[in-house]
Structure 1
Amino acid sequence: MSLEGKVAIVTGSGRGLGLAYAQELAHQGAAVVINDMDETAAASAVASITDAGGRATAVVAPVGPTETADALVKAAVDTFGGLDILVTNAGVLRDRTLWKMTDDDFDTVIGVHLRGTFTCVRAAATYMRENGVAGRIICIGSPTGQRGNFGQTNYAAAKAGIVGMVRTWALELKKAGITANAVIPVAATAMTATIPYFAAAMEADSRGEAMPAFFRHDLGFGTSRDAAGIVAYLASDAAAGVTGQAIGVGGDRLQVWSHPEPVVTAYHDGGWDVPALEAEFPAVTEGSLQSVGESFPPLPEDLQRPAPGR
């Protein structure tokens, strides 16, 4: 599998999961537009790719406004000659219980996660459709959007909404050959580092050691690198037939989510890197990829109406 000649945008890619996605896409051959609000983080992310022989540039701007979405597409086209892949990862947290959550807490999270995903996908899909690009849209969700989580009304609403939009876009973009999928990662972050339950996993990772099997296998909890392979896979030609899906990944575990339960679970020792995905993903998911849109039975004859104009 190769992404040579492809151009990708990854929002919120100055650090953490977003940086892992950008680095993996670059490792597979794609040129990458980095995005972050922190100029230093963005510059460091670009350097991590270019120093390894890849191609990258940065757009330092907050995700949410249409102007940022347009600037990201313009940077991809002007710098690298086109756009094939969009990964929407940018996010922010304002965690509070319902009765303590302010309007600003809610609007800020919705604005970055949900509106930011919408504006960036709209800009990218418009370019792809107008230029005949069979592109790849990959939106980052969360288990919170699938299950809910105490103190995260705003985040749960945004992440659930992203999956709903992805399924809608899969329908709308199918004719253009553009796929739209959501990735639901479970990985070590700055937030999980503060939770005592994950301490052993975080300590092992900080020492450069593999996390205990309980975390990687039983919980499907791993590093940001473990979540990057699925993003690169979905961005490739190998995944041309995969669209409208919510795909969970973490540690050694891969899942396809339905509403609201996963319908298939598979494990691969050492994690789901790109070679493992390329070799096993079709067989693992065969018969388990979810349908898109509602399915209606044929109307009874006495309820059928002539088509307009007839």
Structure 2
Amino acid sequence: MQLTGKVAVVTGAGRGLGQAYARALAAAGAAVVVNDLDLDLAEETVAAIRAAGGTAVAEGSAVGSTEAAEAIVATAVEQFGRLDVMVTNAGVLRDRSLLKMEDPDFDLVVETHLRGTFTCGRAAARQFKEQGGGGRLILIGSPAGQRASFGQTGYTASKAGIVGLTRTWAAELQRSGTTVNAVIPVALTRMVATIPALAELVEKAERGEPIPADVRAGGLGTSDDVAPLVVFLASDEAAGITGQAIGAGGDRIAIWSHPTEVVAEVREGGWSADALAEAFPTTFAPHLQDFQQLSQDSGK
């Protein structure tokens, strides 16, 4: 698959999943702006891309503010003349359960993940419009935003919000030819190394050792296993795909469903509390959703 002539931005691309996305986009022929708060890491990623024959520049803004988003997009335009793909990957973790969560930690996570996705997505969409339409917004979600993830109050709120943005922006930007999709990655990165069951596998992945076949079949692999989905969604071949949340991990690709009603009942004159108490055990209770599906393999 070729992305020759396209220009892409990947935020938070100094290491892990973001780095894998940036390298894969460059390998497919795109010129890439490698953003990371740690400019040294961004420069290392750029050096690796150039050593492999690709084209890239580093950018060191801290994702979140409007000014940072506009600076990142401006770098793409100044260096390469345009922008075709925005991958909003940057994020941080401050894991705490509700009763232990402090305001600054919550605010930092939401500022980086959710507000950063909003500001970078808006800046990119404005540039797409100025260029005459088209473009690809690839927003990075997480299984933690799709189901319960104990101890990740700010992270789950942000990642669920990002998938909500995906659906809304897909509707708003469809006429212009811009596609908007969320990638739900599952990968053995440093961010999941704190999960006891995955720590050993993360160490194997960092050493370059093969991941067991049963683990890969279950949807858990390396960052490089997720990157091809990003390349595909950035391509002309994906022009008809928008508004989707697509999971990727190991040997597995999955489409996540959109929320929908599972049962609905109409009662003439409305529902009183007593009527609800009478109807709930038989009419509604059998359809209550399982909220305890913990995201133990979250790709973050």
Measure, in 2, the Cα distance between the counterparts of 1:65 and 1:188: 29
Match for residue 247 of structure 1? 246
Shift of 1:207: 4.0
Deviations 1:10-38 (A, max 9, x none): 00001110000000000000000010111
On the 8 A contact 2:189/2:202 being kept in 1, the answer is: no
CA deviation after TM superposition for structure 1 residue 155, in Å: 0.5
TM-score by length of 1: 0.82
Listed one character per residue, the Cα deviations across residues 29-69 of structure 1 (whole Å, up to 9, x for unaligned) are 00000101112101101101111111111110100011111
Corresponding position of 1:173: 173
Q: Which moved more, 1:246-255 or 1:209-218?
A: 209-218
Tell me the distance in 2 between the aligned counterparts of 1:102 and 1:251: 35
| Structure 2: runs of 5+ lacking an equivalent | 261-300
Instruction: Quote how far apart the aligned CAs of 1:204 are.
Output: 3.5
Report the RMSD for the aligned CA atoms in angstroms.
1.3
Task: Kindly indicate whether the alpha-carbon contact (under 8 Å) linking 2:34 and 2:46 is maintained by their aligned counterparts in 1.
Answer: yes
Quote the offset at 1:147 in angstroms: 0.4
Which structure 1 residue ranges, 5 or more long, are not aligned? 262-310
Question: CA 1:200–1:33 in structure 2 vs 1: closer, same or farther (change >3 Å)?
Answer: same
One-letter amino acid of the counterpart of residue 80, structure 2? F
Report the CA distance between 1:258 and its aligned residue: 0.4
Q: Please name the residue that 2:84 is paired with.
A: 84
Q: Which has the higher contact order (CA 8 A, sep 6+)?
A: 2
Asked if the contact 1:113–1:159 (Cα under 8 Å) also holds between the matched residues in 2, the reply is: yes
Contact 1:2/1:236, CA 8 A, preserved across alignment: yes
TM (normalized to structure 2)? 0.84
Query: How far does residue 260 in structure 1 lie from its aligned partner after superposition?
Result: 5.5
Q: Distance in 2 between matches of 1:228 and 1:111?
A: 25
Q: State how far apart, in whole Å, the 1-side matches of 2:235 and 2:211 are.
A: 29
1:202 aligned to 2:202?
A: yes
Give, as a single letter, the amino acid of the residue that structure 1 aligns with 2:237. Answer: A
2:5 is aligned to: 5
2:97 maps to 1:97: yes
CA distance in 1 between partners of 2:197 and 2:146 (Å): 21
Q: Establish whether residue 146 from structure 1 lines up as the match of residue 146 from structure 2.
A: yes
Aligned to 1:307: none
Give 2:229's aligned residue.
230
Correspondence 1:114-129 to 2 at 5 A: 114-129=114-129
| Pairs aligned (count) | 260
The separation in 2 between residues aligned to 1:35 and 1:205, in whole angstroms, is 24
- In 2, the alpha carbon distance for the partners of 1:67 and 1:241 equals 32
Matched ranges for 1:55-94 at <5 A: 55-94=55-94
After superposition, the C-alpha distances for 1:258-294 in whole angstroms (9 at most, x for unaligned) are 0359xxxxxxxxxxxxxxxxxxxxxxxxxxxxxxxxx
Partner SS for 1:32? strand
Which residue identity is paired with 1:239?
A: A
Contact 1:84/1:133, CA 8 A, preserved across alignment: no
3-state SS in 2 of match to 1:191: helix
State whether structure 2 residue 17 is matched by structure 1 residue 23. no
What CA distance in whole angstroms lies between the structure 2 residues aligned with 1:206 and 1:33?
Answer: 25
Secondary structure at 1:147 match in 2: coil
Q: Judging changes above 3 Å, is the alpha-carbon distance between structure 1 residues 174 and 107 closer, same or farther for their aligned structure 2 residues?
A: same
Counterparts in 2 of 1:256 and 1:187: CA distance versus 1, 3 Å: same
Instruction: Measure the CA separation in 2 of the matches of 1:204 and 1:58.
Output: 29
